[in-house]
Chain A
């Protein structure tokens, strides 16, 4: 029992390290570089009309305060952490005066829903088919699936999403493009709305699933073709244990252990894929919000989204790490 505690403490430590390094990167990129977000915003404001020099000065003061840019770099660093601790990123400039945290809070369920659905489908389907393909190496259908996986795996999320957009947007327009649901509907727990959410989410989810499927399939097939040569599998085969039992309880069960580790390690990359895909399909999640924040020059929103993304991904990885001992009893000794 002692060692399981050590394991938990180590994983927690890794979580805090990711958050710490990530937020430092955010701070130093935004505060220790030559850009001045205040001047940037004032220029944007000045473009919209006549502003007196006094008004500009007041605006300059207010913005510096708002962005936490007052005092020395050290003061700013301290302010930065204090604000993150209470999730206060100030108001958004592009949708003034809505707070950044409200905007992000509105977008997060869409991203999380999309990610969860896509990750679960691609992980489960990819692992099952990849495991079967590694075990029944001569099956033609599974070999064909292997060729598909090999073709899909190296293509980045953006290109897959873009190709799907072209196919279903221009060549064969059967699915809705853009948005999370039909514009004239009011969100609620009713069948038409849920149906609309599913049809709108179908293409973004499909492009995430396609790339993920390739990766999990290839990984699982390689793992299984190594595990079938392990002594405990050979021994069970020698003993005439039922083939399905061997595949399930011996081969796949052992291959799941590294595949769970792999899921934790690739969550960051999958998250990248999700926000790129959202942007391609205009899905109302964090990714679309981030791109529009950049285009609108919304300083606090960009910082807010980047920070929340880092904390969110690190948290998800932590959850997977903590589930891991349930799958692998050997963790308890180390």
Chain B
């Protein structure tokens, strides 16, 4: 499974068209989105998503990793078209190509976006505790979210929902429960069921398991993967937890301070990281039998309202050179299916 996917992607990355290339479902080009605030006469601009390009293929799980407040959640919110001022898109585009229907998120009307939502594109939000309406039964959420897309009579629709719940090992009676009556794991499974009941082609998941304990987390991850394989959709998956990515993602993008700094097939990225930040992230993972003390990273993530010039990682980078503080590195091809934004990596130096 994991062996097959990266090679196809690798071929696509090099642009050497041998086998018929699958069209990407999602194509993000040069996307920038800033928080722009005016309050008490002070203007602030936080560059949370800065010039990001990526694509996701059909039936692929793309993982986004990075420490907290690096812009992961902002990026996927922007991709989902779920942004509100003070967050504004200042450049670039987000295009989805669903079977027979394509949509440019920031050039479409709200009606077009609403028609796409849940049928083609669904979302599993961070914090399953609070995404369900607390004063209404779970049943109403399914009706509100999915009924208009599935388009059957109400009893038929509820049968479909019950059948779908069974796949996630949930009994039919959760429909008659209020959210507060369910356990955390059950609530998370309900939101996954809610996000997948229309069998969408693209699912965005934001830290879907972070709030759960490790045992429940494992089961939920397996279910997400099972459902994704079964309906054949693509998954854009965000978590700061690299071990989750190692288990789940086909391809991984590493974010630092609003930029994607490295991207590649998960197994290869773990085996030979190029960017010093990726090296640090992977190096900080615990391994059994490894007694050597972990090296910490000096300094703190930059303030995105006033990022350092040049490469944003250079103040903390062990390989920083003169050019790093003057020029911003761009994402360059670095082997099959791999991209990296680093002057040192370009020269073949790795940490």
A interface residues, Cβ below 8 angstroms from B: 230-232, 234-242, 245, 249-250, 253-254, 257, 327-330, 333
Query: Which residue of chain A lies nearest to B118 when distances are taken between CB atoms in the complex?
Result: A239
B82 and A237 within 8 A (CB): yes
Residues of A contacting B117 in the complex (Cβ-Cβ under 8 angstroms): 238-240
A241 touches which of B113, B116, B136, B144 (Cβ 8 Å): B144
Residues of B contacting A235 in the complex (Cβ-Cβ under 8 angstroms): 123, 125, 131
Residues of B contacting A250 in the complex (Cβ-Cβ under 8 angstroms): 133
Assembled-state Cα–Cα distance A240/B122 (Å): 10
Assembled-state Cα–Cα distance A235/B133 (Å): 10
Residues of B contacting A238 in the complex (Cβ-Cβ under 8 angstroms): 80, 82, 117, 123, 125
Q: How far in angstroms is the closest Cβ of chain B from A96?
A: 55
B144 touches which of A236, A327, A330 (Cβ 8 Å): A236
A239 and B136 within 8 A (CB): no
Q: Does B232 sit at the interface, judged by CB under 8 A?
A: no
Residues of A contacting B131 in the complex (Cβ-Cβ under 8 angstroms): 231-232, 235
In the complex, how many residues of chain B place their beta carbon closer than 8 angstroms to a beta carbon of chain A?
25
Assembled-state Cα–Cα distance A240/B112 (Å): 10
Assembled-state Cα–Cα distance A91/B50 (Å): 83
Residues of B contacting A249 in the complex (Cβ-Cβ under 8 angstroms): 133, 136, 140, 144
Residues of A contacting B123 in the complex (Cβ-Cβ under 8 angstroms): 235, 238-239
- Known contacts A238-B80, A238-B82, A240-B117: does B122 contact A254 (CB below 8 Å)? no
Q: How far in angstroms is the closest Cβ of chain B from A150?
A: 21
Q: How far in angstroms is the closest Cβ of chain A from B111?
A: 9
Assembled-state Cα–Cα distance A328/B130 (Å): 15
Q: Which of B62-101 contact A (CB under 8 A)?
A: 80, 82
B180 touches which of A240, A254, A329 (Cβ 8 Å): A329
B135 and A257 within 8 A (CB): yes
Assembled-state Cα–Cα distance A236/B115 (Å): 14
Q: Does B334 sit at the interface, judged by CB under 8 A?
A: no
Residues of A contacting B140 in the complex (Cβ-Cβ under 8 angstroms): 249
Q: Does B162 sit at the interface, judged by CB under 8 A?
A: no
Assembled-state Cα–Cα distance A12/B80 (Å): 50
Assembled-state Cα–Cα distance A253/B122 (Å): 25
Q: How far in angstroms is the closest Cβ of chain B from A276?
A: 36
